[in-house]
Structure 1
Amino acid sequence: MKHIGIVEDDTNIQNIVSAFLKKAGYHVTLLDSAEAGWKLWKKNPPDMWILDIMLPGMDGYEFCKRIRNESDVPIIIISAKDEEIDKILGLELGGDDYLTKPFSPRELVARVKRLFKRLDSTVQHKQKDDHRIKVGDLLIYEHDRRLFWKGKEREVTTKEFDLLLLLSQNVNRAFSREELLIKVWGEDYFGSDRAVDDLVKRIRKKLNHIPLETVWGYGYRLRDKEEPT
């Protein structure tokens, strides 16, 4: 049974979300602060977090950042903040999805199932002989989800890895921002394509001089300078 930690200080939302998730077959732990969530993480880490942003004490952004520094465990952010900049910030800090209050509990359950299905699919397709992809100084172990740049292993988020994997599997091909949103964030993502630009910016900062090129007015491509274009 998958374990979901819900960090939310509104007891009404806690109870409603918990009831729907339990009905869907998940084990749920309710927490009313990020500090309590952090203690749970150290003792009995959940398989997924559902996280409010507006919390007493440590806010959801800081909690998300701390978790993401240690793990790629899925995080769904729920918040009354519906400004685009708030959504972008939540995704930049490592959130896998963002729901604005008020939301449908059934929609939340559907998103939970989709995220778990994606993770389970990755595990099921893991092979004994790990598939390697090498593009210049970039080396990706696809099934172990490990990434090396110039011989050194680098820590990247789930979205950063997924984007680089997609581009390395299609080296020199230009992808539009809309294509990248669908393939990396999923067809049900309704945010701005600015999320793609922000993700690329973070990758370039982590992997200095990576040949991740901008195709002006269109999107991005990963260039293998050793191959003809």
Structure 2
Amino acid sequence: MNAVTNPHILVVDDDPDLRDLLATYLGANGFAVASAGDGAAMWVAFNERLPNAIVLDLMLPGEDGLSLTRALRAKSSVPILMLSARGEELDRVIGLEVGADDYLAKPFGPRELLARLRALLRRSHVLEAESAAAAAPPRFGPFALDTLGHRLLRGGQEVALTSADYELLVALVAHPNRVLSRDTLVDMLRGYERDPFDRSIDNRVTRLRRKIEPEPAAPVFIRTVRGEGYLFNPRGGQP
């Protein structure tokens, strides 16, 4: 499955200047943007074209962002980035608990919002790939990835994986024969917040190799592409 191209973003905010700013900025960065000033307009736009992600203000006239998030979650898993001028921890916790995927306090920089949106879309793509593969578990070498049970099986026996091992393996399996940079993997696994010098991906790859490679020192499934990142080859050492 290829990454989302020209993602469609629905911006819901009662500030017309902010809506125009985000529409212009996101549009210049390859997004298709629709906007709405309240919940009623949001549903019209949502039903006209299903968005790839929604930027949703918490404080809206009429039905607020929390109520709209609950209603959206009842019918869709579309990623939601919640905005609010109120940055208290309780607001963030409630927003995330009712179904928002990320939270950004106002005022914010457009570049940060863009980075968070891209991270949400990457994570959403991994989950979609996992869901699509659930009916026919991906196989590589002697392994089968049971995405419904969140397990890796070898000959019907479960291979002990940590949640971090499993998440990394799902990301790799979803993108076979494609080089994934460390930054791309970090975005897929943890989202926006990260240390630019984070080397934890290398450590996670090393741990995963010990569990799936015939010879971890000479890996055939998770190959290192020097200076670029990692490539998952489901055929292993086969020609």
For residues 15 and 97 of structure 2, what CA distance do their matches in structure 1 show? 25
Task: Indicate how the Cα distance of structure 1 residues 123 and 15 shifts in structure 2: closer, same or farther if over 3 A, else same.
Answer: same
Aligned residue in 1 for 2:136: 129
TM-score of the two chains, using structure 1 as the length reference:
0.58
Aligned residue in 1 for 2:109: 104
Kept in 2, the 8 Å contact 1:9–1:55? The answer is yes
Aligned residue in 2 for 1:29: 34
Task: Note if 1:91 corresponds to 2:96.
Answer: yes
Kept in 2, the 8 Å contact 1:38–1:63? The answer is no
Deviation per CA, 1:98-155: give whole Å up to 9, x if none: 000000001101111111122234445654622436xxxxxx3559xxxxxxxxxxxx
Aligned residue in 1 for 2:80: 75
Percent identity over the alignment is: 32
Task: Note if 1:5 corresponds to 2:10.
Answer: yes
AA of the residue aligned to 1:44: R
Task: Indicate how the Cα distance of structure 1 residues 115 and 32 shifts in structure 2: closer, same or farther if over 3 A, else same.
Answer: same
Question: Which of 30, 33, 43 is matched with 1:38 structurally?
Answer: 43
Task: Indicate how the Cα distance of structure 1 residues 114 and 184 shifts in structure 2: closer, same or farther if over 3 A, else same.
Answer: closer
More off after superposition, 120-129 vs 89-98: 120-129
In the TM superposition, residue 44 of structure 1 has moved relative to its aligned partner by: 1.9
In the TM superposition, residue 187 of structure 1 has moved relative to its aligned partner by: 6.0
TM-score of the two chains, using structure 2 as the length reference:
0.56
In the TM superposition, residue 18 of structure 1 has moved relative to its aligned partner by: 1.1
* SS of match in other structure, 1:4: strand
* SS of match in other structure, 1:99: strand
Kept in 2, the 8 Å contact 1:7–1:37? The answer is yes
In the TM superposition, residue 186 of structure 1 has moved relative to its aligned partner by: 3.8
Aligned residue in 2 for 1:175: none
Task: Indicate how the Cα distance of structure 1 residues 54 and 123 shifts in structure 2: closer, same or farther if over 3 A, else same.
Answer: closer
Task: Indicate how the Cα distance of structure 1 residues 31 and 168 shifts in structure 2: closer, same or farther if over 3 A, else same.
Answer: same
For residues 69 and 63 of structure 1, what CA distance do their matches in structure 2 show? 10
Task: Indicate how the Cα distance of structure 1 residues 118 and 184 shifts in structure 2: closer, same or farther if over 3 A, else same.
Answer: closer
For residues 168 and 35 of structure 1, what CA distance do their matches in structure 2 show? 43
In the TM superposition, residue 169 of structure 1 has moved relative to its aligned partner by: 5.3
In the TM superposition, residue 184 of structure 1 has moved relative to its aligned partner by: 7.1
Aligned residue in 1 for 2:199: none
- Structure with max Cα Rg: 2
Kept in 2, the 8 Å contact 1:5–1:29? The answer is yes
In the TM superposition, residue 185 of structure 1 has moved relative to its aligned partner by: 5.5
Runs of 4+ displaced beyond 6 Å: none
Task: Indicate how the Cα distance of structure 1 residues 86 and 70 shifts in structure 2: closer, same or farther if over 3 A, else same.
Answer: same
In the TM superposition, residue 15 of structure 1 has moved relative to its aligned partner by: 1.2
- Structure 1 stretches lacking a partner, 5+ long: 134-139, 144-164, 171-181, 190-229
In the TM superposition, residue 41 of structure 1 has moved relative to its aligned partner by: 2.2
For residues 67 and 123 of structure 1, what CA distance do their matches in structure 2 show? 18
> How many matched pairs?
151
- Structure 2 stretches lacking a partner, 5+ long: 1-5, 138-144, 152-161, 168-186, 195-239
For residues 80 and 108 of structure 1, what CA distance do their matches in structure 2 show? 14
